[in-house]
Structure 1
């Protein structure tokens, strides 16, 4: 048992698959997209829950459901190893997922302030970490359940991005929730099916990033009336509708470009991942949980982005979305000059992901949907933001990210105030 100032970790163990599931191949290759995007890191996410419902002991229920769920997601209980070709692959060893049961008896959900920074409980205490005797870099997923004094609890997850994308991790966690609520197994059976992902030749291998930035954390809530005002303005000017993602992407990109002061003729980039499961055979076969996204990039001169009406920027983003199928088909056929997964990552680039529908907000272990979901990664090599649902019961969208340095923070905040 280990103790800290705020959290007591009362049980730590490897949870192995129960009830079979050992029929997987000894080793499984990863896909071209798994390898293409620079994903050799763990995504860190915490979700907070009310107590009650079906759960008398959240940790016990989730631990038992995890063991049964791994029988369906057997590769997740394995380890990442280097193949004879020098590439990472999954060895289906069945060793298990590192699981931690913890208690934070001094804290209730209200004390956590919806996981806004600075965190009331340091993230290291809400996330699982195996002992030195286990190499966590080989692991695929780790999970911690921290029970609070009010009966609520927090679920901290670290999943390896080489094996899961956001939708894939959401599918896995929803499967654990299905079983914790009494279902015999996942509502949709998972598939590995990496062979369904196209594997065109990589023309220009992506070099690792070398420039680190001292980003500050940004948080901004967009209530429904603010979002609808942007969407209504676009509709009046164009006679077309736009999505919430289109509207907020335009706001965030222009606000950031204005704040960071790029040279007028410098390129400004906006990058966003789009799910392409509907464009590959993985869509019909079950719950495909590997990386299945295509990165769309919109590039314009800085001065043009800074001065453009919001409707024009929305139009650029919508055009990029409309071209997704054709561009993905061209990439799959090897019909490209520059690898589209070699996206810009400098300070002139905003990367934005939308987590509102990847599944994290729908994971129910027996006491209902989470009150709030928070990403906890600390990025230094690229400006990255995430769109989330606002903490229940509030409506609208929360933006969290690390997208500007301290010198540009005030200007960025002032730009966003125009829209909130």
Structure 2
């Protein structure tokens, strides 16, 4: 049965962090001064992403050694990833967002905590205090000169440490960030790059002239050059973590097969069944008192990201270092979602990814050129489940756990991995109290 990670009573609100040192790290060798084009996918992702990677103590790598090795590796990695040491700029002629590759450097902070790593409790639980492990801005720099990346190394009393990384999303998507971490681990071990990054963002430029040949129900139209981000709700939200074990996921797969999905077994993946299941719970959890009209007549639109590297013709290199994900969608009336077989719900989810052909992807990129297209749906399911950040090999070993620093949003549901690596998944949901009660009831009853 699915379980709920209740808030641990010992959840720390203050990690008692002391910043020891803050500096800039520059490329270890001279790099070419140039402007980097940002694709229409990149430019709508102009917001920070915060991740924390926890490591146990290692007798051969005391705090000072790790800090020195990381700082040296970061300096080296800024040569092949020269854009990371640059600054965001608006092109004075076109008004288009781009990166000035000016070797201005990235931030590096060293900090300490009064606690031991084990005192932090359940690392899977989205503790807002983990935000203290992220150095968010360089106080001595102007707003338009802030780095695109800041790394904070925080030492715990036990000798363990956390590596908190802030990056602007224009720099990486999940896959390219994982490759960046693999390369960082290799350089810290005095090895060559694991993968040479492909930095040519023109590969995802719009066509000339742009041609949006599909309706793109997953995108809204905006005429100005600065589309909004997802609106942050002002509602009071409850948040909970629901854990599905590998057994639960197997149950969902069997349910999809038993309800008519055997003819489409290739679509019955772990991601598709979990996404369909979450969509059903979210769509049917709306509070009738907060919306107009019949709850079941409402159309629910799910959004999720699809990697397009292998879907383009010719395919993008796997080493493409920018954002190569587009938004897929599935939509249906809530009445249909409530009544349809689970296999059909899984099929609707899988059709979103299947729809993402070369022509569809190029059309979506062109849509962004014409309409400043921005994702438009009831909610976005953001999956960190299979990115493998905790599989990165550093000289001091793999992380005990890696996770995003989460923020609670009604319009974003987050999937992230379990700490025991048994292929289970944790689902972070933030909803108003009445909707959360309904979501929880739907989730639990489905396995009853």
Partner of 1:388: 416
Secondary structure of 1:34 counterpart? helix
Partner of 2:107: 98
How big is each residue's C-alpha offset from its partner over 1:251-277, in whole Å with a ceiling of 9 and x where there is no partner?
Answer: 111011111146221110110110001
Matched-pair contact (CA < 8 Å) for 1:109–1:152: no
1:4-19 equivalences under 5 Å are: 6-18=16-28
Unmatched runs of 5 consecutive residues or more in structure 1: none
1:409 pairs with 2:416 = no
State the alpha-carbon separation in 1 of the partners of residues 352 and 131 from structure 2: 38
How big is each residue's C-alpha offset from its partner over 1:217-254, in whole Å with a ceiling of 9 and x where there is no partner?
Answer: 33111111111011122223321431111111011110
- Alignment partner of 1:123 out of 117, 123, 130: 130
Q: CA deviation at 1:26?
A: 2.0
How big is each residue's C-alpha offset from its partner over 1:318-372, in whole Å with a ceiling of 9 and x where there is no partner?
Answer: 1222221155256169599996953324xxx121122233342322322332222
1:159-170 equivalences under 5 Å are: 159-170=167-178
Secondary structure of 2:115 counterpart? coil
How big is each residue's C-alpha offset from its partner over 1:113-161, in whole Å with a ceiling of 9 and x where there is no partner?
Answer: 2152445xx2342101334322466421111111212222111111111
Matched-pair contact (CA < 8 Å) for 1:196–1:280: no
Q: TM-score, normalised by structure 1?
A: 0.87
How big is each residue's C-alpha offset from its partner over 1:291-328, in whole Å with a ceiling of 9 and x where there is no partner?
Answer: 11121111111211133232221111112222211552
Partner of 1:397: 425
1:22 pairs with 2:51 = no
Q: CA deviation at 1:68?
A: 1.1
Matched-pair contact (CA < 8 Å) for 2:41–2:365: no
- Alignment partner of 1:254 out of 280, 288, 291: 280
Aligned residues, how many? Answer: 405
Alpha-carbon spacing, 1:367–1:417, altered in 2? closer, same or farther (3 Å): farther
Partner of 1:59: 67
Alpha-carbon spacing, 1:117–1:163, altered in 2? closer, same or farther (3 Å): closer
1:54-93 equivalences under 5 Å are: 55-57=61-63, 58-84=66-92, 85-93=94-102
- Alignment partner of 1:175 out of 183, 187, 192: 183
How big is each residue's C-alpha offset from its partner over 1:151-199, in whole Å with a ceiling of 9 and x where there is no partner?
Answer: 2211111111122212222222221111112313x21111211111141
Alpha-carbon spacing, 1:115–1:332, altered in 2? closer, same or farther (3 Å): closer
Unmatched runs of 5 consecutive residues or more in structure 2: 1-13, 213-220, 289-294
Q: TM-score, normalised by structure 2?
A: 0.82
CA RMSD across the alignment: 2.8
Secondary structure of 2:256 counterpart? helix
